[in-house]
Amino acid sequence: MSTSGARALLHALLLGAAAITLFPLLWMLSVSFMAGGEASAFPPPLLPGHATLANYRQLFGQQNIGRYLTNSLWLAALTTLLSLLFNSLAGYAFAKLHFRGREPILRVLLAALVIPSQVAMLPLFLLMKWLGLVNTYAAVVVPAMAGIFGVFLVRQYALTIPDELLEAARIDGASELRIFTSIVLPALRPILVTLAVFTFLGSWNDFMWPLIVLTDQDLYTLPIALATLSREHVQDYELMMAGAVLTVLPVLVLFLALQRYYIRGILMGSVKG
Amino acid sequence: MKTAPAAWAFAAPALLIITVFFFVPVLAALAVSLTDFDLYALADIRNLRFVGLHNYWRLLHTPDFWRALTNTAYFVVVGVPLSLAASLATALLVNSRLAYLAGLFRTALFAPVVTTLVAVAVVWRYLLHTRYGLINYALAHLGIHPIDWLGDPHWALPAIILFAVWKNFGYNMVIFLAALQSIPADLYEAARLDGASLWQEFGRITLPMLRPTLLLVSILTVAGYFQLFAEPYVMTQGGPLQSTVSVLYFMYEEGFKWWNLGSASAVAFLLFLIILAVTALQLRLARDAQAR
């Protein structure tokens, strides 16, 4: 085959694949602007006859989705902030500071990566119940404040900080906390962005655990609210699509803005595993 | 070592959180799985009895559990190879020297990975609708009669597999892309000088060089696919006729619907053991293949 023929075939395949991945997302957006009942027709319409914001208005009005949006936003933000703090402290310590038991603990953590998180879920629920935290945001945030993956991600990156830099600061009499805030944190910035994107997306998209511990409707996150709504409003295509758009859009935008950092996280995670 | 106290102070908060909210619950799950922890024990812990391996024994004699296990195995056995094939194929396309706008294509193909599973599952539920769904509409042009994707026990799980492949393949594509880019270009140049075809290049250079990545990616994907839950929860609620009940869905109902926490913990542990065994098997097969 000639080079130009090969090139044409290649791009046809690429365009086909991209159409498959993007079509459901574009269709979701289009249907979200349709009038109620418009999508339940044959043949299925691709574009709204008269674009309307009625579905969004209904979601924010009757369905109170603004509340769930805020819940999701600040839960994800808080989880991200706290996990950055704890994981970066520990990741740095495991990379650069010496303490008894460092290597054995590291090996235990690494081995524990194979345990699916759902194994811990039932006793974690009992623990939360015992602590009186069921049906509070603490039950969602607290277990996510630190994680093995986060500690390792930071550690791998922190290993590249030159020891001389830290030693020089110590000789100048800087405290360990001072060294951490003024030398280590700035050096870790790229990986902290990566970890932040991962944690934020993970928290935003999380389903099973919030579904279990948040039973009060006022506390629902967007995915839980959407799942509940979709069980009650099976026939309301257009409304559900507007809800899906509101759920997906924030994370999609965040990803597009910080794509490079997110992909680095995947690659570091896969090299380590 | 003089930095020890600070080091411990730095590591301790994260270790404490991981211990209290992960390690202790995992061990507790093992303990709970050996008891008859249920609604009565939840009300008053004195009702708790040690039952040894009874939960495990009973599960292995529960047809619904086997059903969940078979469904999950089907999802893994069909879903993982499809998923990996899609990832590898798209990675090869994007990585081609001839591709324009490779970065843009990569982003487009990756987009489903970052979307919220519940939201896109809702979208797909409508795309798969028997009468108004675009998938059946498209198939009709090929002369295929409408399929009741999510309402027919034979089609519900395949439909969920299609959805899962769409949602997940981009993740491994990115990993394959990085691995492809690390293959030295002179290997291909040498092959081309020897007159190797594209297919030979793929079989003799690309595939062998990708072997470690393939192993890693298949282990991670198999483990991930065994944890199927939200897809059936949103798309089919386990139905029709239990055809999409996964192991975790079974655990969720057993634990949080019927409050049989002892039995549900046993389910969780069995799932963990199965994943561990399959991972060990994959490593073993890879080692044997290497040795040959």
Q: Do B98 and A10 touch (CB under 8 A)?
A: yes
- Classified by CATH at the fold level, domain A63-272 comes out as MetI-like fold (1.10.3720)
Q: What is the pLDDT of residue A58?
A: 93
Measure CB to CB from residue A230 to each of B6, B26, B234 and give the nearest one. B234
Q: Do B174 and A263 touch (CB under 8 A)?
A: yes
| Interface membership of B97 toward A (CB under 8 Å) | no
| Pairs of residues, one from chain A and one from chain B, whose beta carbons lie less than 8 Å apart | 274
**Mean pLDDT across A124-136:** 95
Q: What is the pLDDT of residue B101?
A: 93
Q: Do B171 and A243 touch (CB under 8 A)?
A: no
| CA nearest neighbour of B19 among A90, A92, A93 | A90
Q: Do A17 and B279 touch (CB under 8 A)?
A: no
Residue A2 phi, psi dihedral angles, 5° rounding = -70, 160
How far apart CA B136 and CA A1 sit, in angstroms, is 35
Residue B35 phi, psi dihedral angles, 5° rounding = -125, 170
Q: What is the pLDDT of residue B197?
A: 86
| Interface membership of B13 toward A (CB under 8 Å) | yes
Q: What is the pLDDT of residue A272?
A: 43
Q: Do B22 and A120 touch (CB under 8 A)?
A: yes
CA distance to B41, B255, B268, per residue, from B27 (Å): 19, 17, 12
Q: What is the pLDDT of residue B198?
A: 84
Q: What is the pLDDT of residue A269?
A: 73
Query: How would residue A2 be classed by pLDDT, with cut points 50, 70 and 90?
Result: confident
Q: What is the pLDDT of residue B1?
A: 45
Residue B198 phi, psi dihedral angles, 5° rounding = -55, -40
Find chain B residues with C-beta within 8 A of A100's C-beta. Answer: 4
Contacts 24+ apart (CB under 8 A), A39-46: A39/A237, A39/A238, A39/A241, A39/B126, A39/B132, A40/A235, A40/A237, A40/B132, A41/B132, A42/B131, A42/B132, A42/B137, A43/B137, A44/B132, A44/B133, A44/B134, A44/B137
| Interface membership of B53 toward A (CB under 8 Å) | no
| Interface membership of B188 toward A (CB under 8 Å) | no
Task: Report which secondary-structure segment, H or E, holds B31.
Answer: helix B24-32
Measure CB to CB from residue B21 to each of A6, A142, A222 and give the nearest one. A142
Distance from CA of B205 to the nearest CA of A (A): 20
Q: Do B122 and A266 touch (CB under 8 A)?
A: no
Its ipTM equals 0.92
Q: Do A105 and B1 touch (CB under 8 A)?
A: no
Domain-wise residue ranges, chain B: 62-291
| Interface membership of B283 toward A (CB under 8 Å) | no
Q: What is the pLDDT of residue B42?
A: 86
Closest-CA residue in chain A for B217? A270
Find chain A residues with C-beta within 8 A of B252's C-beta. Answer: 208, 212
Please provide the average confidence, as pLDDT, over all residues in chain A: 92
Distance from CA of A40 to the nearest CA of B (A): 6
Interface of B with A in 216-275 (CB under 8 A): 216-217, 219-220, 223, 226-227, 229-230, 233-234, 237, 248, 251-252, 255-256, 261, 264-265, 268-269, 271-272, 275
How far apart CA B176 and CA B145 sit, in angstroms, is 37
pLDDT per residue as tens, chain B (292 positions): 455 688 999 999 999 999 999 999 999 999 999 999 998 888 888 888 999 999 999 999 999 999 999 999 999 999 999 999 999 999 999 999 888 999 999 999 999 999 999 999 999 999 999 988 999 999 999 999 999 999 999 999 999 999 999 999 999 999 999 999 999 989 888 888 888 888 888 999 999 999 999 999 999 999 999 999 999 999 999 989 999 999 999 999 999 999 999 999 999 999 999 999 999 999 999 988 887 7
Coil vs helix vs strand at B50: strand
What is the CATH superfamily name and number for domain B62-291? MetI-like (1.10.3720.10)
Domain-wise residue ranges, chain A: 63-272
Residues A46-88: tens digit of each pLDDT: 899 899 999 999 999 988 999 999 999 999 999 999 999 999 9
Residue A273 has pLDDT above 70, yes or no: no
